[in-house]
């Protein structure tokens, strides 16, 4: 039985893919006990990777193709999701779903030591924040380090201006999964480093940046941002001019989407006539 704490940032889709791929490698001649243990591990791992179940403590036991689930969740839909995940694992033919739905359930607070799932979640956040900073044409003077622990981001390094420092903080705060940001970046208007200078050269030679690169980075920036429904926004680019279309929830979200797109390197202007709310 697995009693490990669940906390991961990765999606349930990725989890299901891992679960299916891993089981295909197991030898057919394994004993039933070994098969049970492996199926338990695959189900629990998928729970840990699900953003809807990661904060819940769910125990898994498998007996000859039957999965027994025990624990607590806050909503009925999460209980149903746990059952569907268990049934998706190869060899599981039945589920005894004993999970209790308790709207007042509070997940245990994380300890001082990060587990494997915490490390993966934090690494995902760090990568997203770094990418957004790297793609930003308004952050050419930044020399920034990004560190994440328990979804709390620490920014350190230097910026050419207070505006760049504030931009870095906003990009980090608006990233999916981020709970808090400690912006320790110092403003130091010195001569840009070689790396920073190369970023400026890229901006000045905007015509050399392909439209496909710009489209990809704008889409990724929108998807990484927690306050924008990036998956509902279509992005196309023609000679550096980005067109956004689709539906957002309100004018604030629309304005943020336009700002984020305009801020990506190589973007000359943004057309948003078809981005409605």
Closest CA to 124 of 51, 64, 70, 55: 51
Q: What is the dihedral of CA 65, 70, 71, 76, to 10 degrees?
A: 80
The confidence score (pLDDT) of residue 103 equals 84
pLDDT band at 274; cut points 50, 70, 90: very high
**pLDDT tens digits for 166-211?**
999 999 999 988 989 999 999 986 655 444 444 554 444 444 689 9
Q: How large a percentage of the chain has pLDDT more than 90?
A: 47
**pLDDT tens digits for 94-127?**
999 999 998 888 776 656 677 666 788 888 899 9
The confidence score (pLDDT) of residue 243 equals 96
The confidence score (pLDDT) of residue 153 equals 95
Determine the Cα–Cα distance for residues 10 and 134; give it in Å rounded to an integer. 22
- Averaged over 147-153, what is the pLDDT? 92
**pLDDT tens digits for 203-243?**
444 446 899 999 999 999 998 988 888 778 999 999 999 99
**pLDDT tens digits for 51-86?**
778 777 789 999 999 999 999 988 899 999 999 999
Q: Could you count the other beta carbons within 10 Å of the beta carbon of residue 134?
A: 13
Q: Could you count the other beta carbons within 10 Å of the beta carbon of residue 92?
A: 18
**pLDDT tens digits for 246-258?**
988 888 999 999 9
Query: In residues, how long is the chain?
Result: 277
Contact 183, 192 (CB under 8 A): no
The confidence score (pLDDT) of residue 222 equals 92
Domains and CATH numbers, the chain: 12-101 (no CATH), 116-200 (3.30.1340), 205-276 (3.30.1340)
Determine the Cα–Cα distance for residues 256 and 170; give it in Å rounded to an integer. 11
The confidence score (pLDDT) of residue 235 equals 95
pLDDT at 164 over 80: yes
The confidence score (pLDDT) of residue 132 equals 92
**pLDDT tens digits for 3-41?**
444 443 444 444 445 445 444 444 444 588 888 889 998
């Amino acid at each position: 039985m697995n009693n490990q704490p669940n906390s991961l940032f990765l999606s349930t889709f990725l989890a299901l893919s891992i679960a299916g791929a891993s089981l295909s490698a197991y030898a057919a001649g394994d004993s039933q006990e070994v098969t049970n243990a492996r199926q338990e591990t695959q189900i629990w791992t998928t729970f840990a990777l699900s953003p809807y179940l990661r904060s819940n403590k769910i125990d898994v036991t498998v007996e000859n193709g039957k999965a027994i689930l025990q624990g607590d969740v806050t909503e009925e839909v999460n209980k149903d999701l746990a059952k569907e995940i268990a049934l998706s694992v190869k060899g599981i033919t039945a589920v005894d779903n004993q999970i209790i739905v308790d709207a007042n359930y509070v997940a245990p607070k994380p300890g001082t030591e990060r587990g494997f799932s915490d490390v993966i979640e934090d690494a995902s956040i760090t990568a997203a924040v770094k990418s957004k900073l790297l793609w930003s044409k308004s952050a050419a003077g930044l020399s920034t380090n990004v560190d994440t622990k328990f979804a709390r981001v620490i920014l350190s390094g230097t910026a050419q201006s207070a505006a760049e420092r504030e931009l870095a903080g906003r990009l980090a705060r608006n990233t999916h999964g981020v709970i808090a940001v400690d912006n320790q970046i110092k403003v130091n208007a010195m001569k840009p480093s070689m790396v920073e200078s190369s970023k400026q050269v890229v901006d000045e030679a905007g015509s050399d940046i392909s439209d496909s690169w710009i489209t990809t980075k704008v889409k990724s920036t929108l998807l990484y941002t927690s306050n924008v429904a990036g998956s509902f926004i279509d992005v196309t680019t023609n000679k550096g001019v980005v067109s956004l279309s689709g539906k957002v929830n309100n004018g604030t979200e629309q304005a943020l989407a336009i700002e984020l797109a305009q801020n990506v390197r190589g973007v000359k202007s943004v057309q948003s006539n078809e981005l409605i709310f």
